[in-house]
């Protein structure tokens, strides 16, 4: 089930975003907000970096992580810095299976709620997206979000084209 929360009335009509000056960031958690090997105390250790990069922007966040299947959205949001928590508007829907499942989940969300809105996915799972997906900002799962991904986000939010996942990749995919 898709979860949409905290949308100002001027932004939507019958569940669809209508505000074209809004950007959507589909956010994975493991391998993005912390390295995949993070201990419990290290979880969300990179969330402040993302919050700072998005501060003052018209970007809204949709949680696309598998965490959405095991944790209520409120619990996930509670772990985020306040400014990032305020940007969270919902989660993607039911899981998709087959080729590039995360990408398919995001496309379903976009088609249903935001067909005219610019979006990016911040994720470490390159196998979940088609090769060269221009909307994917790929993170190293051993590090999480770093300066390169933050620069790509800020370029996108500033109107510049972001490199494709293949162009931006700086680590071995294996």
- Give pLDDT tens digits for 39-62: 999 999 999 999 999 998 999 999
- Is the model's pLDDT at 99 over the cut of 70? yes
Map tokens 């293949």 to a residue: 166
Domain range annotation of the chain: 3-168
Better pLDDT: 46 or 17: 46
- Tell me the whole-structure pTM to 2 decimals: 0.82
- Note the pLDDT of residue 14: 52
Task: Compute the mean pLDDT over every residue in the chain, rounded to the nearest whole number.
Answer: 83
- Is the model's pLDDT at 122 over the cut of 90? yes
- Note the pLDDT of residue 137: 97
- Note the pLDDT of residue 98: 79
Measured CA to CA, the distance from residue 165 to residue 59 in angstroms comes to: 20
Domain 3-168 has CATH 1.10.10: no
Better pLDDT: 65 or 120: 120
- Note the pLDDT of residue 18: 54
* Number of neighbouring beta carbons within 10 Å of residue 172: 7
- Catalogue the E-assigned strands of the chain: 3-4, 12-13, 16-17, 23-27, 59-63, 88-91, 118-123, 136-138
Better pLDDT: 169 or 143: 143
């Amino acid at each position: 089930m898709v979860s949409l929360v905290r949308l100002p009335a001027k932004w939507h009509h019958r569940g669809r975003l209508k505000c074209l000056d809004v950007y959507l960031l589909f956010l994975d958690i493991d391998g993005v907000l912390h390295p995949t090997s993070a201990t419990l105390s290290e979880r969300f250790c990179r969330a402040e970096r993302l919050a700072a990069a998005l501060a003052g922007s018209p970007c809204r966040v949709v949680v696309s992580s598998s965490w959405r299947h095991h944790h209520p959205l409120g619990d996930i949001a509670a772990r985020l810095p306040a400014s990032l928590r305020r940007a969270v508007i919902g989660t993607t829907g039911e899981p998709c299976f087959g080729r590039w499942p995360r990408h398919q989940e995001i496309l379903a969300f976009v088609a249903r709620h935001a067909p005219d809105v610019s979006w990016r996915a911040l994720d470490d799972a390159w196998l979940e997206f088609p090769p060269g997906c221009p909307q994917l900002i790929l993170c190293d799962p051993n590090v999480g979000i770093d300066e390169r991904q933050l620069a790509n986000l800020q370029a996108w939010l500033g109107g510049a084209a972001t490199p494709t996942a293949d162009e931006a990749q700086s680590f071995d995919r294996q």
